[in-house]
Each structure stands twice: as structure tokens, then as C-alpha cells.
Amino acid sequence: MASTSPDPTDPTLGPRARRSALRRREILESAARTIGRRGYAGASLAAIAQDVGISAPSLLHHFRNKESLLTELIAYRDEISRGGGPTSFDEGGQALLDHLGDTAELNARDRGLTQLYAVLLGESITEGHPAQESFRARFEGLRAPVRDALLSAVADPSLDEQDVLEAAAAIVAVMDGIQYQFLLAPESLDMAAVTRRAVRAILADLRDGSGRDSG
């Protein structure tokens, strides 16, 4: 999901547009802090606005409602995680798999955004949560390129499609699950090392065929 907020550092923006972009960025950063601490339900627009130093009606000038703010916030978080441009993830194959460890390393450094993501992901499984569809689409969008990267890295035409799909889901699950352990006890583990170990183990499993159903 791409962010729709303009980059305040874009030199093509005029003074008014730049001020608006800066204010939107301030609101997004405030929402990240507030939702990360209180969860989506506990983070009111009034509290987010107060953190920025504006009124709630002024906030609604930039984001029409809380759900649109949430949607933009998820996209903003993803852009930061990707560094704002193409990465080795986009190259596919082994380069994509190697990039997953780099992503975990970045997430460990930016604990605030990692906490925001973990809070929203956990809450999104509840009935009617506005981020549910975003996360469902996110997982579908992640599993596909990871699956393709595994196929390319193993380069075995006899691989069972279901095996590869399960392997891709396992990698995504490790990356998201390890964040909760890290957030509860950040000194107890290295997210990047765990992610890289999981990728190596899953690749080895696919290469030796041990994950295939012998029946």
C-alpha cells in the first residue's frame, strides 16, 4: 500500500503545500506514538491532535476521519521500513530473502514503529477492526513475492507448490511473531539473526525435500 501523503521535502512543493505536508507528517508521527501506547480504540483524534498542538477539527482538515488516518499510517510505516525507495526486496530471488534479515534489523532499531505495527496487527483480528482488510491484503502481498523468491533460490522444478506456499507463510509468520518477543524483552534476542536463521532453515528444508508429504 503506497502512502498518499506528499513528502514535505519534495522540492516541487509550494510553500502552502509544504506546510500542509509537514502538518500531515506531524499528525502521522503523533498517531504512531499514541496508537502504539494506547491501541487504536484508545487513541482518540483529540489525543492525537493535542499531541501535535492543534485542535481535532484542524486534524480533520488533513484526514477526514480516524479510519483514513489509520490507513495512511500503515502505508507511512511501510514506506519507512522500506527506506522510501526500491530495495533488494524488489530484486526477488536470494536478494529478497537476504533483505528480510535487513528489514528485521531496521525494525529492531525503530522500536516505536515496530510497536505500532505489533499493536495494530494484534488488534486487527478483532471483529470489525478497520485495519483488518489492510493486514489481510498485506499478508497476501507478502507471501507471493516470498514464494517466488524461494522458487528462484531453490531452482527445483519438482518443488510442490503447496510446500513453497507453506514455506513462504512460515517466513512471514516468523518475522511478525518475533517482534512480540523482541518488544517484551529487547535484550533477549536478535530479530535479524532469528529471521536469517529461519530463512536458512526453510530453504534447507525445501532443498532436501524433508517438508514434503511422504504419504
Q: How many C-beta atoms lie closer than 10 Å to residue 115's C-beta?
A: 20
pTM here is 0.82
The answer to whether 156 and 130 have CB atoms below 8 angstroms apart is no
Quote the cell numbers at residue 130: 478497520
Rg (CA), the chain: 19
Q: Where are the domains of the chain?
A: 15-76, 86-208
pLDDT band at 83 (very low <50, low <70, confident <90, very high): low
Terminal CA-to-CA distance of the chain, rounded, Å?
40
CA distance 199 to 35: 31
Cα 9 to Cα 5, 18, 21, 80, 137, distances in angstroms: 12, 8, 9, 14, 29
Query: Per-residue confidence at 213, pLDDT binned at 50, 70, 90?
Result: low
CATH fold for domain 15-76: Arc Repressor Mutant, subunit A (1.10.10)
What CA–CA distance (Å, rounded) separates 11 from 9?
A: 6
Which positions ≥6 away from 153 have C-beta within 8 Å? 93, 94, 97, 203
Mean pLDDT of 84-105: 83
Instruction: Kindly report, residue by residue over 153-190, the tens digit of the pLDDT.
Output: 999 999 999 999 999 999 999 999 999 999 999 999 99
pLDDT higher than threshold 70 for residue 211: no
Report which residue type is found at 205.
D
Dist. CA 89–CA 94, nearest whole Å = 9
The type of residue at 206 is L
Whole-number average pLDDT of the chain? 90
Kindly report, residue by residue over 10-61, the tens digit of the pLDDT: 889 898 999 999 999 999 999 999 999 999 999 999 999 999 999 999 999 9
Q: What is the largest CA-CA distance in the chain?
A: 67
Q: pLDDT-based confidence at 150, cuts 50/70/90?
A: very high
Q: How many CB atoms lie within 10 A of CB 193?
A: 13
Q: Which pLDDT value is given to residue 215?
A: 46
Between CA 34 and CA 49 the distance in angstroms is 10
Characterize 92-114 residue by residue with b for buried, 16 or more Cβ atoms within 10 angstroms of its Cβ, and e for exposed: bebebbbbbbbbbebbbeeeebb
> For residue 87, is pLDDT > 70?
no
Q: Looking at the predicted structure, is the pLDDT value of residue 130 above 80?
A: yes
State the cell numbers at 37: 501506547
